[in-house]
Copies of this chain bind each other. A is one copy, B any other.
Amino acid sequence: MGLIGGSFALALRPRVRRLIGVDPNALARRLAIRRRAVHEATDSLARLARCDAVLVAAPQSKVPAVCVRAARWMRPGATLFEVASVKGPIAEKLQSIPRHVNLISAHPMAGTEHAGMANASARLFKGRPLVLIPVRVADRSALALAREFAAAIGAQERWMLETARHDDQAARLIHLPHLIAYALASLEADRSLAGPSYRGATRVARSLPRMVAEMLHANRAALRRSLPGFTRALRRLARLLDSPARLEAALDAVRKALQE
């Protein structure tokens, strides 16, 4: 029950019969109760035996193992959601999840640089895309559940069939922006003079380093593929700096693409 799991809990609790939060961290459990994010909080996976749906929100490297352990307790026909940021590296490990449960990989395109249940918000996913990948769906009720799930948190459901496509888009839309933010923030500068463009460009570099490192490492292949295109684009713009008119035309083309 960190930022993501806690935000799911806060958004879902008013819309489900009973929401059980499982976390080994006693502080997170106390906070989840105090913030009314869950009906009950426990450190025991045994409570999953009564659930129709289970959502695993854990650091990237821990997702497969937590999913396998959670699924052992789940009843046949129940549905397991995992929300890791990168899908390819965990795809094989997810195959070892006990086969009596449905498995849907999801990725809410939302988050902030502030971690933990304390920063969770019921509105975090509001209006944001929620990527849904049906990894193993024995009965179609699991798909209906996923759609209800997206609606309940106010997200826009975006179904995908291929994890590779997801990881490629995540590299361009999430992981490359993170790497760039850290590179920019690592340069010498008098930050006491910083305005909104610098603050905005380096915001995500204030995230928890371990979380980001695991995420970037997991998607390193797609991330590295995206880098040459970026540095080429940067060099091309740098070459246009001598000609305001040609530079303006290039910037205008980018702006139009953003507004499409």
Q: Kindly supply a per-residue 1/0 record for chain A positions 137-179, scoring 1 wherever the CB is within 8 Å of any chain B CB and 0 otherwise.
A: 0000000000000000000001000000000010011101111
A176–B183 CB distance below 8 A: no
Determine the distance from Cα of A238 to Cα of B249 in the docked complex, in whole angstroms.
31
Of the candidate stretches A5-13, A50-58, A72-80, A187-195, the one touching chain B is A187-195
Q: Which residues of B contact A220 (CB under 8 A)?
A: 241-242
A191-B258, A206-B255, A259-B206 as given contacts; A233 in contact with B196, CB under 8 Å: no
A203–B205 CB distance below 8 A: no
Q: Which residues of B contact A182 (CB under 8 A)?
A: 233, 237, 250-251, 254
Looking at the complex, which one of B179, B213, B236 makes contact with A244 (CB distance below 8 Å)? Answer: B213
A233–B183 CB distance below 8 A: yes
A224-B241, A251-B212 as given contacts; A234 in contact with B195, CB under 8 Å: no
B109–A195 CB distance below 8 A: yes
Q: A19 on the interface (CB 8 Å rule)?
A: no
Please report the total number of A residues contacting B with Cβ < 8 Å. 83
B179–A234 CB distance below 8 A: yes
Q: A216 on the interface (CB 8 Å rule)?
A: yes
A244–B109 CB distance below 8 A: no
Q: A134 on the interface (CB 8 Å rule)?
A: no
A179–B252 CB distance below 8 A: no
Determine the distance from Cα of A195 to Cα of B213 in the docked complex, in whole angstroms.
19
Q: Kindly supply a per-residue 1/0 record for chain A positions 104-119, scoring 1 wherever the CB is within 8 Å of any chain B CB and 0 otherwise.
A: 0000111110000000
Q: Which residues of B contact A181 (CB under 8 A)?
A: 197, 201
25 CB contacts below 8 A, A to B, read A109-B193, A111-B195, A172-B188, A173-B189, A173-B191, A177-B197, A177-B200, A179-B238, A182-B251, A183-B230, A186-B237, A186-B250, A186-B253, A187-B230, A191-B258, A191-B260, A201-B201, A212-B251, A213-B245, A213-B247, A214-B244, A217-B241, A220-B241, A224-B238, A227-B234
The 7 closest A-B pairs by CB, nearest first: A109-B195, A213-B248, A209-B251, A220-B241, A177-B201, A183-B233, A183-B234
